[in-house]
Structure 1
């Protein structure tokens, strides 16, 4: 214990049951394990991680309503509310059992959206640390939304000023604020306020990001959230997401990329949760065909509404693209983005994807579907200038223009140079921040002994 004070201390982690939340939590678990901590993973039975991929952890299932979870498609905040109330009892029960069998539990790390877990850990005397699986800038944006609502930014009077900047929240535009809420404005603001307040009650805050990217927002964060904060990303530079993926990766995509020219391929993937209608999917398909740019397109089963996989594609599409395009169900994304033939990434702007693209110096075309994706895409295009945000959804002319700019024109080369300069600053996760986090976790246990 003298050489490594974290040795034999156990940290319990609880992710939300979705790929974009499971991946960073399992990566963080591996990082902490490498620093000497024992790891227990509490997880929902929906989208359960595979214990065989991480045999050095202990896994504990939290039961819950599978049918109810599946009914919340498209209403993320309602789903978060359900999980908070459905899981709180089972979490408390599981923690109680773990405490009865392990003497050295130091703390619990939960997804920030599991705000009700604070009550469970307080009942049992365990400190709670929050992991934000989103960008730091998007967290601040969400925290500011209720204030902006009070200032009238959601009133009908602003309908004619959708392109106007939001001076209180640069680089936002009014339309970005309108895009974030899901169904009911009142419910959205109430949920956001609850999540923000739940974060403030935690003992510490972790972000999967790095200071060179988000330093301008760090001082603002510390002013409004005066609790220990650790930026220890990018997690995936230390541990790959492959061990926590519940989707099967098609490695034939790498063999296909090997046959393509340097920086010539546009990689297209909208993550594990986004959905789109068949009309927009067909517009994308013909856009990819008409630009005559080589592309690798991930069409996940369930991406296109009302279809099993590719039956919505016109019959002539495959003939038109010939050998120039390759379509798969799921890709080893980190390996794809690091491949020398990939010159651009058309993404849904989920934080894991944006961070992986930044780390490989790949310029982005940003579509956004929900939540923090709207914030990430605005920052990529307007603040960090690492890509182009599609402002009109899936309008053919804008999509084709963005592909030309990223893959062919001088503007794309300028973006690529900025991305590569930022890439050079990324050496892996921050060991200094990790050591500080480890010291804090050890102090939790010491204060309870």
Structure 2
């Protein structure tokens, strides 16, 4: 443990202790932005503790090795048909990827080649995303231990484990009359907050979640991108459920990693930081719906006018693909004049730097877990507009458990959006949420201190890896 502690203290002070890297970890992220970033952040944390890292990645959403010269990179054929990659849902792509990988020896051959590389330190284990059951099977055939990184919340994973019970007790599939019914076994969730997909059948979702559960239950250890102070009860429930050597809350990973941005699939516009420098403290609403969420053109227009009519400065991320039925960016007539001097629209933002900026006083978000964690870590309260997957339960925790935001429900209408912005940025309720957000930020920061729970979790993880 002495070497681990020395490396940890050195990294905390901004330098990395030169050392011979005698062991190596392999990492294999699911190729979507919200999964890539935490995995590469974990890789960076482990590299800082003296472990060599090899990143295996698919050709779909291929990573750029030039962004991480400290890692070795290996491209693995994923077998995703071009049509599915272009038009399929995320679940379609995950299913197609696993089917192709299980039918082909390519993954096993790639892993065998990496393990046989005598120019690299001996591999101790492979970190995988829980969606990659096919990769776990290939690793098991080679005798390589797999550990799972869950990039979502502990509450979300607990929900996956509970799915058979949720169907048995009639919570699922959800009925319109039951949407606001509490799920007594998983407080504070209601039926409407459970993991769901509007674009896939409940049976397909059920099969995918069953495979995730299988991947986790048969791994050699579990790391969750959360921290003890945020999800104490949820983490204990998972530890009680699983018979694993380690179940560790080692997050927020973007705060533990020196390369917090991971590997962005879109070019980040840093000019927005200079613009934020010109704004008053806590005056700006940051608006971003993540890397995958989308809306139709009518909803886009309502958001535009809601922002314009609110009277507040805002920074709005309008990435390619955000609006489903528009080929280009087409703002309503008069919008640009209405926001002149106080509105800034960009294609993609360095989100962690934006949320950490003193000018940002609120976040209108799709409630993905990464965005939620990043906002909490900077003490920024949220207006939540969840759409699918785990976003509804994240929003529920933001509002009901932590009290650092509220959900914007129903149809997107400009008047409703305008009122929500004023409530968060000007109202007494918003001020109370901001105070609670500051308190929660401090609690999370305590987990990141040298004797905090997240740093201790990383110490335990490194010791466990070295024992394999």
TM norm. shorter chain > 0.5: yes
Query: Structure 1 runs of 4+ off > 4 angstroms?
Result: 1-6, 178-182
Give the drift of 1:160.
2.0
Separation (CA, whole Å) in 1 of partners of 2:123 and 2:196: 41
**Alpha carbons of structure 1 residues 324 and 2: separation in structure 2 relative to 1, 3 Å:** closer
**Alpha carbons of structure 1 residues 288 and 141: separation in structure 2 relative to 1, 3 Å:** same
Stretch moving more, 267-276 or 4-13: 4-13
SS for the counterpart of 1:244 is coil
Separation (CA, whole Å) in 2 of partners of 1:356 and 1:66: 34
Separation (CA, whole Å) in 1 of partners of 2:430 and 2:20: 46
SS for the counterpart of 1:417 is helix
Match of 1:269 in 2: 288
Deviations 1:364-398 (A, max 9, x none): 11111221112111111111111111221423343
Give the drift of 1:72.
4.8
Work out whether 1:379 is the aligned partner of 2:379: no
Separation (CA, whole Å) in 2 of partners of 1:371 and 1:248: 25
Match of 1:447 in 2: none
TM-score, length basis structure 1? 0.93
Match of 1:394 in 2: 412
Work out whether 1:353 is the aligned partner of 2:367: no
Contact 1:297-1:328 at 8 Å conserved across structures: yes
Stretch moving more, 260-269 or 186-195: 186-195
**Alpha carbons of structure 1 residues 155 and 243: separation in structure 2 relative to 1, 3 Å:** closer
Match of 1:67 in 2: 82
SS for the counterpart of 2:133 is coil
- Of 432, 435, 446, which aligns to 2:456? 432
Work out whether 1:253 is the aligned partner of 2:269: no
Match of 2:32 in 1: 18
**Which runs of no fewer than 5 residues in structure 2 stay unpaired?**
5-18
Q: How is 1:137-176 mapped onto 2 (pairs within 5 angstroms)?
A: 137-154=155-172, 158-176=175-193
Work out whether 1:328 is the aligned partner of 2:346: yes
Separation (CA, whole Å) in 1 of partners of 2:28 and 2:433: 37
Match of 2:213 in 1: 196
- Of 278, 296, 321, which aligns to 1:302? 321
RMSD: 2.0
Contact 2:367-2:394 at 8 Å conserved across structures: yes
Work out whether 1:229 is the aligned partner of 2:247: yes
Work out whether 1:187 is the aligned partner of 2:201: no
Work out whether 1:285 is the aligned partner of 2:304: yes
**Alpha carbons of structure 1 residues 318 and 129: separation in structure 2 relative to 1, 3 Å:** same
Match of 1:129 in 2: 147
Separation (CA, whole Å) in 1 of partners of 2:101 and 2:87: 16
Question: For this pair of structures, how many residues does the alignment match?
Answer: 441
TM-score, length basis structure 2? 0.90
Work out whether 1:211 is the aligned partner of 2:228: yes
Deviations 1:199-249 (A, max 9, x none): 100000001111111112111111112311111111111323334112111
Work out whether 1:29 is the aligned partner of 2:43: yes
**Alpha carbons of structure 1 residues 374 and 2: separation in structure 2 relative to 1, 3 Å:** closer
- Of 416, 424, 432, which aligns to 2:434? 416
Contact 1:108-1:128 at 8 Å conserved across structures: yes
